């Protein structure tokens, strides 16, 4: 019997697959922020977001993981006797076959890496995350969108932004919405119902507050390759969201409920690892 796959090799392959899915599925997340939504009973609103937005594909973590997956020199695997447990010397033919299989595997990895780069590029609306100019190119795109008053790239995939968007909520509103990047999961969603009710929630906030940007899969694989002290720091979700309205608050999940202010009523949420409750409220317009 020739070489067999070890648990370590199988685990590494599984982690690489999980990581590629994590990178592709959730690549824009909140960091430290202050956000507000003022919603009037006539449907007019103003939404503001000041703070950090993290773009996963531009982080040091992503760079380190991609680098860790580079081709390594051929290493002969052990061969075993028919019992499957007793190791023996490999024959020349077996070594040659191992090398042939290794070369085919390396070629497959090169082709997969090329496909992954194209996938990430499409996810970024044509911006290549591997290009050193990608961060500023994305910043310029954001600055061109209505309401994005300031966009500053701080490095490690982190943007400091100042956003203020106003309008009438005759439609669904989601933030952020980034041009040519339809796969972005919104931080906050306001869904307008036909009966005049507006549901406001943010399931992403809970995930962002509880885990590092690329999830437990990324954490595990990185810690298996280097000391934890060498892992780069990331701004996890840590912020405050305030909703003010003169309409009727039909439901909410705040800790203390609404409080009366000069312009109506106010709801507040702290979003962090200490209080990972995603904001939720149901507002009745025109009531």
Could you tell me if 158 and 54 are in contact, meaning their C-beta atoms sit under 8 angstroms apart?
A: yes
- The secondary structure of 245-280, three-state, reads ECCEEEEECCCCCCEEECCEEEEEEEEECCECCCCE
pLDDT of residue 237: 80
Tell me the two tokens of residue 175.
């933030």
Q: Which two tokens stand for residue 214?
A: 């690329």
Whether this model's pTM surpasses 0.75: no
Q: E strand or H helix at 107, and its extent? A: helix 92-123
Instruction: Give residue-wise pLDDT tens across range 133-151.
Output: 888 888 999 999 999 999 9
pLDDT, the chain, mean: 79
- Quick one: CA torsion of 201, 203, 205, 209, rounded to 10 degrees? 140
Query: Does the pLDDT of residue 56 top 80, yes or no?
Result: no
Q: What is the pLDDT of residues 243-266, one digit of tens each?
A: 999 999 999 999 889 999 999 999
Nearest 5°: CA angle at 72, between 80 and 122?
120
Spatial CA neighbour of 160 closest among 34, 10, 75? 34
Instruction: Judge whether 175 and 163 are in contact, CB under 8 Å.
Output: yes
CA 261 → CA 142, 219, 246, 266, distances in Å? Answer: 34, 44, 10, 7
Looking from the CA of 157 toward its CB, the CA atoms found within 13 Å total 26
Contact 80, 87 (CB under 8 A): yes
Tokens of 35: 């956000």
């Amino acid at each position: 019997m020739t070489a067999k796959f070890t648990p370590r090799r199988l685990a590494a392959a599984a982690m690489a697959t999980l990581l590629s899915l994590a990178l592709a599925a959730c690549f824009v997340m909140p960091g430290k922020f202050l956000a507000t939504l003022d919603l009037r009973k006539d449907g007019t609103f103003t939404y503001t977001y000041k703070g950090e937005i993290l773009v996963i594909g531009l982080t040091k973590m992503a760079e380190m993981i991609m680098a860790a997956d580079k081709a390594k020199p051929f290493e002969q695997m052990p061969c075993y006797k028919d019992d499957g447990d007793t190791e023996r010397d490999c024959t020349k033919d077996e070594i040659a076959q191992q090398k042939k299989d290794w070369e085919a595997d390396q070629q497959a990895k090169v082709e997969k890496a090329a496909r992954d780069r194209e996938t990430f590029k499409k996810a970024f609306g044509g911006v290549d995350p591997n290009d050193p100019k990608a961060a500023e190119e994305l910043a310029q795109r954001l600055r061109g969108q209505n309401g994005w008053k300031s966009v500053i790239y701080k490095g490690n995939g982190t943007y400091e932004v100042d956003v203020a968007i106003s309008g009438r909520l005759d439609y669904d509103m989601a933030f952020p919405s980034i041009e040519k990047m339809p796969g972005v999961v919104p931080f906050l969603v306001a869904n307008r119902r036909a009966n005049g009710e507006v549901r406001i929630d943010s399931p992403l906030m809970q995930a962002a507050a509880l885990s590092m940007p690329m999830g437990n899969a990324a954490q595990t694989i990185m810690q298996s390759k280097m000391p934890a002290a060498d892992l780069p720091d990331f701004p996890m979700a840590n912020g405050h969201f305030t909703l003010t309205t003169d309409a009727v608050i039909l439901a909410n999940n705040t800790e203390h409920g609404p409080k009366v202010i000069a312009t109506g009523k106010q709801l507040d949420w702290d979003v962090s690892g200490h209080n990972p409750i995603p904001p939720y409220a149901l507002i009745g317009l025109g009531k």
